[in-house]
Amino acid sequence: MTDVKKPARVVFVLQDLAFGGTQRQALELGTRLDRSLFAPEFWMLTDVRDFAPKAEAAGIPLVWLSPNPTVGLASLAALWHRLKEHRPDVLVPLTAVPNIWARIFAKMQGLAPVIGTCRGGGAIARQHERFLKGLCSHHIVNAAPLARTLEALGRPAAAITCIPNGVDTGYFLPPPDELRPVREVVLCLARFCEDKDHETLIRAFEYVAAKRPRAELWLVGDGPLRTRVRTLASRSPVRGLIRTYPASPDPRPFFQQASVVALSSVREGLPNVLLEAMAMGLPVAATAVGGIPDLVVPDQTGLLCPPRNPEALGENIAALLADEDKRLAFGKNARERVEALFSMAQMVRRHEAVFEHVLAGGPAQRPAGAGPARD
């Protein structure tokens, strides 16, 4: 009788399942992994369940390590015991706190392989990669600048794989012509946190409103600076043109109302919101930080400017609002670009190649099929 090999248990440790780019990418990856080879599980350090219904519908086992909304000693103790009693075949921590403690606990318990992840412009500092980079078998990053920073800290290039985020181009579709927006909506879908620098965007929009008095700014998101962002919006001289909305599991209705998608980040990995916007045929006005220049081609799919420069960002937004032909051409180019380079199938297969490599106990080198460290 032939033994049937069990799928490898791939455990993703997340801080939460809140609405966010990392959580959405984890959900897409877990949903699409080849279940004959991999059995994904999500372990959460806190009890924040925004994406839980989608994960449950995808058949992904969910483990809530704490009933609390924030990480504390109880969360970490539960993670320690869970790792000890339910040893994964591959451990993949996501976001800062899991990347710190899951790696430390795995090292103390002799667990391997562990795949460290860096997914945002500030991730390397927040995760103390200078000191913890050696506690994992391999690194996955989602933007080339992150790979270069890890290398500068001494991580071998062969132990780093850059896998850009993917976007579901069948889900994020351009609206039909008859549903094109008639209002001039500038849309920002982003977590309210320091990295996104909403203050610069609000100041940029004040410049836009002076030129385009019919324009509106929609700020969609949640996060630790929600109150601050809403206060800034309420005190703006153009506050009557600024709206704020909570984050949603389905952002498509917001995209369908938008003329331009704007992002004023000071640090980034490869932002999902821009992939989704481009898949829906929208032009982008953003800052040239992190992996954004690898995604947005200036004067073809959008316009870029330096961070913390509200006048330059405002000029770019106003220029796009003023030229419908350019907006439509950029949107068409954007859709074609994400279809060619940022598919979900590519993202999933490249993760699977890394998982297969570390499970095989291969040396610290880039796995075949995973692609280069710098895309």
| DSSP states along 239-306 | GGGEEEE---S--HHHHHH-SEEEE--SS-SS-HHHHHHHHTT--EEEE--TTHHHH--BTTTEEEE-
**Residue 1 covered by a domain:** no
pLDDT for res 364? 52
CA of residue 3 relative to chain centroid, distance: 39
**Residue 374 covered by a domain:** no
Note whether 121 and 239 are same-domain residues.
Answer: no
The DSSP bridge partners found for residue 284 are 261, 302
Residue 231 has which token pair?
Answer: 């206060």
By CB atoms closer than 10 A (0-12, 13-18, 19+), residue 53 is exposed
pLDDT for res 213? 97
* DSSP E strand boundaries for 84-135: 90-93, 115-118
Note whether 251 and 330 are same-domain residues.
Answer: yes
Note whether 106 and 62 are same-domain residues.
Answer: yes
**Residue 289 covered by a domain:** yes
Note whether 15 and 120 are same-domain residues.
Answer: yes
The domain in which residue 312 lies consists of 177-341
Torsion of CA 230, 234, 237, 243, to 10 degrees: 60
Look up the pTM and report it: 0.89
Q: Using an 8 Å Cβ cutoff, are 162 and 375 in contact?
A: yes
**DSSP state, 3?**
P
Note whether 350 and 223 are same-domain residues.
Answer: no
| Residue 83's CATH number | 3.40.50.2000
Note whether 130 and 211 are same-domain residues.
Answer: no
pLDDT for res 67? 98
Secondary element (H or E) of residue 348 = helix 344-359
Note whether 47 and 126 are same-domain residues.
Answer: yes
pLDDT for res 370? 60
Collapsing DSSP states into helix, strand and coil, what is residue 22?
Answer: helix
Note whether 212 and 269 are same-domain residues.
Answer: yes
pLDDT for res 136? 97
Note whether 252 and 126 are same-domain residues.
Answer: no
Question: Interior CA angle at 95 toward 139 and 107, to 5°?
Answer: 55
pLDDT for res 4? 67
Best CA proximity match to 93, nearest among 103, 105, 81, 83: 103
Phi, psi of 233 (to 5 degrees): -65, -40
Number of domains in the chain: 2
Residue 244 has which token pair?
Answer: 């704020």
Note whether 150 and 101 are same-domain residues.
Answer: yes
Note whether 256 and 272 are same-domain residues.
Answer: yes
**Residue 171 covered by a domain:** no
**Residue 373 covered by a domain:** no
Alpha-carbon distance 135 to 129, whole Å? Answer: 9
User: pLDDT 10s per residue in the chain (375 long)?
Assistant: 455 689 999 999 999 999 999 999 999 999 999 999 999 999 999 999 999 999 999 999 999 999 999 999 999 999 999 999 999 999 999 999 999 999 999 999 999 899 999 998 889 999 999 999 999 999 999 999 999 999 999 999 999 999 999 999 999 999 987 777 779 999 999 999 999 999 999 999 999 999 999 999 999 999 999 999 999 999 999 999 999 999 999 999 999 999 999 999 999 999 999 999 999 999 999 999 999 999 999 999 999 999 999 999 999 999 999 999 999 999 999 999 999 999 999 999 999 999 999 999 865 555 555 654 444
Note whether 95 and 120 are same-domain residues.
Answer: yes
**Residue 271 covered by a domain:** yes
Collapsing DSSP states into helix, strand and coil, what is residue 151?
Answer: helix
**Residue 305 covered by a domain:** yes
**Residue 375 covered by a domain:** no
Alpha-carbon distance 96 to 107, whole Å? Answer: 17
pLDDT for res 375? 41
pLDDT for res 367? 59
Alpha-carbon distance 270 to 343, whole Å? Answer: 14
